[in-house]
Chains A and B, each alone.
Chain A
Amino acid sequence: MMYRVLCALVGVCLTALIPTLAIAQSGPLRIEITEGVIEPLPVAVPDLVAETAGSAEMGAQLSRVIAADLIGTGLFRELPSSAFISQVTDFGAPVQYADWKAINAQALVTGAVSVQGNQINVKFRLYDVFSGAELGSGLQFAGTTDGWRRIAHKVADVVYSRITGESGYFDSRVVYVSETGPKDNRRKRLAVMDYDGANVQYLTGSDDIVLAPRFSKAGDRVLYTSYETGFPRIYVLDVGSVQRRVLENNQGTMSFAPRFAPDGQTVVYSISQGSNTDIHSMNINSGVTQRLTNTPAIETAPSFSPDGARIVFESDRSGSQQLYVMSASGGQATRISFGEGRYGTPVWSPRGDLIAFTKQSKGRFHIGVMRVDGSEERLLTASFLDEGPTWSPNGRVIMFARETQGAGGRSTLYSVDITGRNLRPVRTPEGGSDPSWGPLQP
């Protein structure tokens, strides 16, 4: 599935959008995400105009996915089509700004779709209704019909990006563990899905326990832990071919909690030997390994900084589970978590400024964020069991797993803004845990 950005209708490429954005910043159609709680911006997304026979339904479906992406951020609210005064029936016709102003639409997304065989072409424009002007230039995307949702996500990413000034995250995938069955007979298998839970594809069977898949930065490979050999071992799986190989298979040890370095060649992970668990790294091409921690404590859940220079991990060397930062080559580590309770599963944000973590305190679990030096700790969620945060590619949203209490307990994926707003479940066909959010797709 290859997608081409066919460039702007008026001859302007995506790369030339910067001046447009600069203008937009002074206009009214602008959301500053950092400003905390805001009133969702009213947006109208009429069905895309069908430009070929039989593509009307596709036009409607595309507009639904675009709108769902925008509303799902919590930053937008959609105006129902029943409120529309103007109907968009011609993509090229001038926009009746007064009609959209009258229903208080601040942003308007119009589009057109043509389908020929299995080829689909989508054009769209974004309007700043109150300024009475187009925001950025029209764009078009082409691809195959089975990838139509990706095209909708790409449109929504551009809209989001132009209005917030941040890159989007809708055209991205999440690898996770799909779960069925009760707690004492849980069946787990690896799955990959679109960020919104659509297009689920299973990557392994459920004969063996599989845990904690982690995407590479490019999203082409996944590291995970499987009990295939009877012992926890790390595997690296190619997402395209679904071919996999074991990373190492040393008798008398267990290995788990792997994560890629940003270079895609180095892997950090934990090895348990005897009662001790330490963090090691391996070059997956050469197989050369290096021990990064060397204490009798539990050291696990390592995660790289986006520049690859540092690693955040958890250790109980102080007597309880806490977060530490060390150089990517190991050695001296600095403790960064000092609040009440236990801290685990730290994950460095893609922007490099925050660490997301799981916190256990007074019988409750929380997903939280703190600055890299441990300051400004902020808890985003609270429940019986929240665990395992992962960052959206733009560092604005965190996905995690929530397990409910008791014999009928079930694990579900959720997402939440880093402001703590907009907590919502991710609809997956089965239960889900251990999500790992991949990159924005090219």
Chain B
Amino acid sequence: MKLKSSLLMLCAALSVAACTDPNRFGGGDDALATGANGAVAGSASDPSSPAYFKQAIGDRVLFAIDQSTLTPEGRATLDGQAVWLLQNADFTAVIEGHADEQGTREYNLALGARRADAARAYLVTQGVQASRLQVVSYGKERPIEICSDETCYAKNRRAVTVLAGGLSS
């Protein structure tokens, strides 16, 4: 398990090098302090930064239509999130559940809650303290893609782990 996680982290770290669009993923702090490993603290190259969590590990898992069951890809992402959260114990997280626009407002709120809770429950089984995790559903209120077909819908059906806390706060 430990080895698998390390490999995941490595793969993720490699993939981040290709990312050059800070706006899309949101940067960390602009702090210029240098971390122990020589990376700029708070930047995506600092493995203890929220930016790294977001970009290298992946802050979101996606769901099938009207489903809240985690996919194998989703579980792999959450494995990485769990390892990170265990290593960075001063962070807490709010897991945001979302739905695509195909559904009524109230049902989608409840569906988003199911998705957020599926991610939360999985992180807890991986050892993350339940008290560090909160869930919120936005239903269909906060799509990130706005076309009305499956290419967009697939990205909108998501649970996003949003970090809070950390040493900087």
- What is the interface of chain A, defined by CB distance below 8 A to chain B? 182-184, 186, 209, 211-212, 230-232, 252, 254, 256-257, 270, 272, 274-275, 277, 298, 300-301, 314, 316, 321, 344-345, 358, 360, 363, 384-385, 387-388, 403, 405-407, 409, 434
Contact = CB atoms under 8 A, between A and B. Distances in A.
A257 B105 CA distance: 9
B106 A345 contact: yes
A118 B104 CA distance: 46
- Main secondary structure, interface of B, reads mixed
A298 B105 contact: no
Contact of A300 (B106, B121, B138): B106
Interface string B130-161: 00001011100111111110000000000000
A387 B104 contact: yes
B25 interface: no
Nearest to A409: B148
The 3 A-B residue pairs with the shortest CB-CB distance, nearest first, are A344-B104, A277-B110, A272-B113
A405 B94 CA distance: 31
B117 interface: yes
A254 to B, nearest CB: 6
Contact of A301 (B94, B107, B146): B107
Contacts of B106: 212, 256-257, 270, 300-301, 314, 344-345
A272 B137 contact: yes
Interface in B83-134: 94, 101-107, 109-111, 113-114, 117-118, 121, 134
A384 B101 CA distance: 10
B113 A277 contact: yes
B110 to A, nearest CB: 4
Nearest to B101: A385
B110 A270 contact: yes
A90 B114 CA distance: 68
A23 B31 CA distance: 85
Nearest to A275: B117
A244 to B, nearest CB: 20
Contact of B145 (A184, A344, A360, A434): A184
Given A254-B113, A298-B114, 9 more contacts: A182-B146, A257-B109, A272-B109, A272-B137, A274-B113, A300-B106, A301-B104, A409-B148, A434-B105
A211 B137 contact: no
B168 to A, nearest CB: 20
A363 B146 CA distance: 17
Contacts of B145: 184
Given A183-B143, A298-B110, A358 B136 contact: no
A28 to B, nearest CB: 45
